[in-house]
Chain A
Amino acid sequence: MTAHPPGNGGRLAAIHGWLLLLPAAVLLAAFTHYPAVATFWHSLFTTPRGNRPARFIGADHYRDMLADPIFWTALQNNLVFAAGTILPSIALAMVMALWVNSRISGRSLLRLAYFTPTVLPMIAVANIWLFFYTPDYGLFDQLRGLFGLPAVNWLGSGDTALGAVIVVTVWKEAGFFMIFYLAALQQIPPELGEAAELEGASRWQRFWRVTFPLLMPTTLFVLINATINAFRLVDHLFVMTRGGPDNATSLLLYYIYEVGFKFWDQGYAAALTMVLLALLATVALLKFFWLERKVHYQ
């Protein structure tokens, strides 16, 4: 870090460095940093309409938000969605990786099966799942029919719709996260497991005492990604539920889309975006100040 070769230190190098960075910096500033700050600024104004320009209203949008039942429903749904997708997809990803990394028969075909949902567009697979969930004709109800069970309107009932959407998300994400665990497992020296085996540890003990702790950095990385995704993935809602029934599957970003681009109330949409940004910032701060210290890196 201290001694730089002649070409890369000094004033000329500083100018070259900044010039190289400039194009990316301009676009990053324009489409990531500026909008993050402008969101806050614009959330303090009314939405300009026709000949009425934007008017400063201070915290009014935030006051409206506290009184907006749909906002609270979307936020609550989003927290349930996060809880329902993060842990199951991580646990499944870990199990998948352990299977695919072991000497199981047909493991390359298995790896393919688990990973395939990752390369399919969410909007496309949502169509297929939509059919699975169709009352009477759908695959789920046909299977239930075999056991004489009645049809269920999975996506049309407030009790089951969010769960149905969570299942699709876990299906889509688990295989993607599996890849990171697979990478980590392949870097664990087999001697560690063998040593534990010689000590008489059972497979179960070996997993919890040796493998699981060594996978901790990967788990943290996947956890962060799964958490961000829980607030980012809304594509399937457009096809499967449109946030319904009665907002039972509306998530924060989906509600922002509705307010901003269907009702065209961009001022209020900006205030809602601030909540999303605050949630993501909390995740980032937790990562840097808390989790990062707890995880043991080799």
Chain B
Amino acid sequence: MSETAELSRALVRPIASPAQSSVLADGRIDRILNTLGAWTLGILWLAPLLYAVWTAFHPSAYSTRFELFAPLTLENFRAAWAAAPFPRYFLNTSILVATILAGQLVLGTLAAYAFARFSFPGRDIAFALVLIQLMIMPDVLVVENYRSIHALGLVDTIPAMALPYMASAFGIFLLRQTFKTIPRELEEAARIEGCGTLGILWRVYVPLAKPTYLAYALVSVSHHWNNFLWPLIVTNTVETRPLTVGLAVFAGTDQGIDWAIITAATLLASGPLLIAFLLFQRQFVQSFLRAGIR
């Protein structure tokens, strides 16, 4: 296939007739227009972030004046950091994200192994029931979930924010697909060496699914770092509030309209994820790609 394509390309190119060379000129205009369009859109897409960086690093007098040599300052970050308990919010978000991820990985691994390699009555129905969560996410069931969390006496705790997301249909599905591609012979070999069910899972399946785990972890962390509505509903103190809710409270109250400080706080809240993304862009994009292919 590819040899013929290579050959045809080689044959077509050198003998460009006058008609074809005008096609080539058209191609050049075409390419210039495309590059222009792509970059216009790219700049539009980056504009909010670029603007936030500008405002946060300059005195508020320059929030709407763009002068090349405007003085730089870190004062806005200092003011934002002092005005709200951001260190606590960072801690809360970190604990929340880690708790959810740990739960999702453990529960997802066990369930995915059951679906991929065991036959038991009701398996297919159970799998269909799991997939329902892809359509009806906990995000839209906040009213009833609040009722349950309230009944459990967990309101305003980190487990309350984490529990609805710990069993993830997406994670189970993704890991099941990966486990299914692992040859059964490896499992047989481990069994002969005396491994039990959990031993096989731990020694054979988990190590071979590492890329899927990494991909899923990045998607999960960036999703839950940014989650807002459910944490807003179940938290009401500084001790549990995650960054997103803390930022909304901060920007919504007595700040007036000092945009410089609000954008500094905004960058603080997005900072860790954004820096991680810039450092590990390739892995991030690859992870989202991997998680998206079904």
Please tell me which one of the listed residues A34, A100, A171 contacts residue B148 in the complex, with CB atoms under 8 A apart: A34
A31 engages B119 (CB within 8 Å): no
B262 engages A122 (CB within 8 Å): no
Q: How many A-B residue pairs have CB under 8 A?
A: 290
Residues of chain A within 8 A (CB-CB) of B188 are 5, 7
Please tell me which one of the listed residues A21, A30, A36 contacts residue B110 in the complex, with CB atoms under 8 A apart: A21
Instruction: Give complex CA distance A180, B285 in Å.
Output: 10
Considering only CB atoms and an 8 Å cut-off, how many residues of chain B contact the other chain? Answer: 103
Please tell me which one of the listed residues A180, A191, A235, A281 contacts residue B1 in the complex, with CB atoms under 8 A apart: A191
A17 engages B119 (CB within 8 Å): yes
Q: Is the interface of A mostly helix, strand, loop or mixed?
A: helix
Contact residues, A254-292 vs B (CB, 8 A): 256-257, 260-261, 266, 269-270, 273, 276-277, 280-281, 283-284
Instruction: Give complex CA distance A35, B140 in Å.
Output: 10
Considering only CB atoms and an 8 Å cut-off, how many residues of chain A contact the other chain? Answer: 103
Contact with B along A1-44 (1 / 0, CB 8 A): 00011011100011111101101111110111111101100100
> Could you tell me which A residues sit within 8 Å of B by CB distance?
4-5, 7-9, 13-18, 20-21, 23-28, 30-36, 38-39, 42, 92, 95-96, 99-100, 102, 104-106, 108-125, 127-129, 131-132, 134, 137, 139, 142, 171, 174-176, 179-180, 182-183, 189-191, 194-195, 198, 203, 221, 228, 231-232, 234-235, 238-239, 253, 256-257, 260-261, 266, 269-270, 273, 276-277, 280-281, 283-284
> Could you tell me which B residues sit within 8 Å of A by CB distance?
1-2, 4-5, 8-9, 12, 30-31, 34-35, 37-39, 41-43, 45-49, 51-52, 55, 63-64, 106-108, 110-111, 113-115, 117-121, 123, 126, 129-130, 132-133, 135-148, 163-164, 166-167, 169, 172, 184, 187-188, 191, 197, 222, 225-226, 228-229, 232-233, 243-244, 247-248, 251-252, 257, 259, 262-263, 266, 269-270, 273-274, 277-278, 281, 284-285, 288-289, 292-294
